[in-house]
């Protein structure tokens, strides 16, 4: 079976997200340790954490979350709707999500380019170039937009996908209850 490239990219981004989590953990721990045992702390830890690690940790897994349909959902009234209305509502939500993600990607791309052109830095205990991190947001949002659009197309043309996309995420009834 051929794998969709968007699914592959979303899986890779989720896996890559582990790198800034681990590096941030080591970096901050080392910074605090050095500070309290009498050495100088690592210069730029706050700037790097805020502008690189945290941004990557938040935006890189977004495509995977959309692909696996694990975002926050309130289905109070959804359960009471007919299947056809559920399909329509799901399509509407996917299109609104695609529009929102796509709009945010379009808005953040010129900011990233401007940051690149100015060679933006964060001035703190040391100057850190932060322009590269500005491109994470529009790229991740663009991929997430494509995932939402792919789901919308699958909803319209694939009956099995339609059932899966409109299903309510309930616990597996065959799972053991402890």
Evaluate if residue 6 carries a pLDDT over 80.
no
In a domain, 174, yes or no: no
> What is the number of structural domains in the chain?
1
Does 20 map to a domain? yes
Q: Is position 136 within any domain?
A: yes
Give the residue with greater pLDDT, 173 vs 74.
74
Exposed, middle or buried by CB within 10 Å (0-12, 13-18, 19+), for 89? middle
The pLDDT tens digits of the residues spanning 106-154 come to: 999 999 999 999 998 888 777 888 899 999 999 999 999 999 999 999 9
Answer yes or no: is 67 within a domain: yes
pTM of the full structure: 0.81
Mean pLDDT lowest for which of 29-43, 66-80, 81-95? 66-80
**Domain-located, residue 130:** yes
**How would residue 94 be classed by pLDDT, with cut points 50, 70 and 90?**
very high
Residue 162 lies in a domain: yes
Is residue 173 in a domain? Answer: no
**Where in the sequence is the domain holding 89, given as residue range(s)?**
5-166
- Over residues 66-83, the mean pLDDT reads 83
Contacts of 38-44 spanning 24+ positions with Cβ under 8 A: 43/125, 43/126, 44/122, 44/124, 44/125, 44/126, 44/128
**CA of 110: how far to CAs of 1, 15, 33, 113, 116, in Å?**
38, 27, 39, 5, 10
DSSP state, residue 51: I
In a domain, 171, yes or no: no
Q: Which of 34-38, 67-71, 98-102 has the lowest mean pLDDT?
A: 67-71
- The pLDDT score that the predictor gives to residue 68 is 85
């Amino acid at each position: 079976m051929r794998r969709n490239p968007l699914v592959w990219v979303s899986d890779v981004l989720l896996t890559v997200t582990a790198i800034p989590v681990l590096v941030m953990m080591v970096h901050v721990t080392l910074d605090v340790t050095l500070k309290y045992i009498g050495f100088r702390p690592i210069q730029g830890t706050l700037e790097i954490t805020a502008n690189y690690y945290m941004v990557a940790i938040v935006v890189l897994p977004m495509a995977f979350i959309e692909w696996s349909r694990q975002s926050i959902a309130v289905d109070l009234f959804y359960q009471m709707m007919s299947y056809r209305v559920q399909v329509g509502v799901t399509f509407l939500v996917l299109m609104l999500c695609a529009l929102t993600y796509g709009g945010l990607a379009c808005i953040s791309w010129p900011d990233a380019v401007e940051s690149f052109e100015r060679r933006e830095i964060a001035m703190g205990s040391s100057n850190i170039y932060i322009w590269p991190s500005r491109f994470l947001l529009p790229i991740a949002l663009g991929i997430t937009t494509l995932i939402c659009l792919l789901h919308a197309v699958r909803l319209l043309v694939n009956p099995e996908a339609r059932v899966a996309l409109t299903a309510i995420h309930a616990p597996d009834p065959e799972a053991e209850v402890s």
